[in-house]
Amino acid sequence: MNLKRVLASLLSVTVSLTSARNTTDIDAPQAAGRSAETCGDPADALPFYRLLAGTGEYLYVADPTTVGTELRAAPNGWALQTVAALVFSTQEVSTVPFYTLHSNTGSEWLYVANTTELANALNNGYHLSTEPVVYIYPTQICGSVPFYYLNNAAEKSNFYTAVESERLDFIANEGYTDVDIAGYVLPLGYSQCA
Ligand SMILES: *[C@@H]1O[C@H](CO)[C@@H](O)[C@H](O)[C@H]1NC(C)=O
Ligand SMILES: *[C@@H]1O[C@H](CO)[C@@H](O)[C@H](O)[C@H]1NC(C)=O
């Protein structure tokens, strides 16, 4: 074997080791578990828009077509306020449906991930709304944050926020009180590179 052939074969070994290492790097998070195998793909997460009715109820919608339809529903006077969080529009790993319910008698909207509470709500004056269901995490995993559920009993209005300062402001200045954590959403600043 001459030197050139030795070098050539060493080179080919090096190349295959390098590509093997690259492959290993890409697969490493999956082999390690949580991040790649038990979380939704953050690249699929969509803005969950918050709309406010002229009458004071809040509506949360991810589907852009539905946002447009609601905003054009002039008699309701919906205004687009902000993006409240990031959610999934299809069921990804470890996520659960976050149902949109509407009052049978009033006009408030209710958002429920817990199936026991869904059954309670359906038995207590709410029906499932026609907005497409979105999906969130039922526990705080995968970089998610609490989606706080607040209620203003006098206004018959439910409010949800992932922003702690907004939660405190609504309690201090808008007549809302904490009810629960509705589920866990990805915050707006979420970066899959983090
Ligand atoms: C493989 O990794 C090496 C160094 O880690 C890099 O120089 C090379 O561009 C990578 N190749 C591919 C196909 O990603
Ligand atoms: C769902 O709601 C019920 C009734 O409020 C509660 O007892 C239960 O702990 C909740 N489950 C989860 C996973 O939060």
Residue 72 pLDDT: 84
Residue 97 pLDDT: 97
| Nearest 10 degrees: Cα torsion 128, 123, 50, 43 | -60
CA of 19 to the centre of ligand 1 (A): 7
- The separation between CA 187 and the C-alpha centre of its own chain, rounded to angstroms, equals 8
pTM: 0.75
> Is residue 136 pLDDT above 70, yes or no?
yes
C-beta neighbour count of 180 within 10 angstroms = 14
Residue 8 pLDDT: 55
**Quick one: average pLDDT of 79-87?**
95
Q: Nearest ligand, CA of residue 25?
A: 1
Higher pLDDT, 128 or 130: 128
> Is residue 25 pLDDT above 50, yes or no?
no
DSSP character at residue 143: T
CA of 113 to the centre of ligand 2 (A): 10
CA distance 82 to 85: 9
Task: State the average pLDDT for the chain.
Answer: 84
What are the residue ranges spanned by the domains of the chain? 3-185
CA of 179 to the centre of ligand 2 (A): 13
> Is residue 76 pLDDT above 80, yes or no?
no
Residue 54 pLDDT: 85
